[in-house]
Amino acid sequence: MTTVLDHIAAGTGPGLVLIHGTGADAASNWGALIEAASDRYAIVAPNLPGAGGTPAPDGPLDLDELADQVLATVHTAGLERFHLVGHSLGAVIATAVAAREPGAVTSLLLHAGWVTTGPREVFMVDLWARLLRTDPVLLARHLILTATGPGLLGTLNDEQFAEFAAGFAATLGEHILPQIDLDGRIDLRDSVGRVLAPTLVLASTEDQVIPTHHQRELAEAIGDSRYLEVPGGHGLPFEDPDRLFSIITDFVDAQQTAQQSARRATRQTGVPA
């Protein structure tokens, strides 16, 4: 039986599923968006294994199994069709979900996603794992420097940076090692072409973790997709949540309106729009 993940469920209306990235959880990645959009959407935000109330796995994570767990969680929460949003590893998992059950996903927004992990990223996540085991504060400092854009870093003095790193390090632990390991093994080349949902692929121009060429490759691999660049770093949900969440709600609202209009036209004419 497929595991149902711990998750946040809020609101009523059309379904909206939010998948967080490596080392985060549903609340930290999406809390403000859940609060803002739950007045018009039924939101489900799973906690991936090792996050929130979902225990870390005993062995390596499997991407297809994760996609099935997300689908089981969403369906258990009562959603059969839904808009789907993912950040970083969450964007990879969202792509796998949309490829695995294309009829369920009404639209797809992917921030900082990628198709296949390259050698540079393999070296990078290996460094993350080594630092996590030996010096979490140093890992936190490294991630802040590489995952945030110059806008945020330019506002911090030495003391604030140290406090930021210490607070971040306190959230890191070996429970996220399976997520980091999975980051180094992603290969969606055989499945990404099965994604049918209208898709917005979003890239942060200063992303040093998953650079923009990965998002361009992802957009090119999805038939019905649009590519958009925005200022900021990889950690845009934390660095500039207002900007990111505005883009997400504008896209999802537009897709929902278009789909409602198409259904009305079909009912009136009997001809699919």
Interatomic CA distance for residues 155 and 164, integer angstroms: 12
Q: What is the mean pLDDT of residues 78-96?
A: 99
Tell me, what's the pLDDT at 202? 99
Q: What is the mean pLDDT of residues 40-63?
A: 97
**Domain residue ranges of the chain, discontinuous segments joined by +:** 7-117+187-269
Predicted confidence band at 159 (pLDDT cuts at 50, 70, 90)?
A: very high
Predicted confidence band at 141 (pLDDT cuts at 50, 70, 90)?
A: very high
- Tokens in use for 271? 């001809």
- Report the sign of the C-alpha dihedral through residues 81, 103, 53, 148, in that order: negative
CA atoms within 13 A on the CB side of 30: 30
pLDDT at 228 over 60: yes
Which three-class secondary structure state does DSSP give residue 27? helix
258-269 confidence digits (pLDDT tens): 988 877 766 666
Which three-class secondary structure state does DSSP give residue 35? helix
- Number of helices (H) and strands (E), helices first, in the chain? 11, 7
* Beta carbons of 17 and 74 less than 8 angstroms apart: yes
* Amino acid symbol at 119: P
Predicted confidence band at 180 (pLDDT cuts at 50, 70, 90)?
A: very high
Prediction pTM value: 0.95
Sheet holding 15-19, edge to edge: 7-10, 42-46, 15-19, 82-87, 105-111, 199-204, 225-230
Interatomic CA distance for residues 74 and 139, integer angstroms: 33
- Tokens in use for 79? 């959603």
Tokens 């998992």, residue located: 93
Predicted confidence band at 140 (pLDDT cuts at 50, 70, 90)?
A: very high
Interatomic CA distance for residues 117 and 214, integer angstroms: 9
Report the DSSP pairing between strands 42-46 and 15-19. Answer: parallel
Mean pLDDT of the chain: 95
Q: What is the mean pLDDT of residues 150-158?
A: 87
CATH fold of the domain at 7-117+187-269: Rossmann fold (3.40.50)
Closest CA to 219 of 112, 62, 101, 59: 112
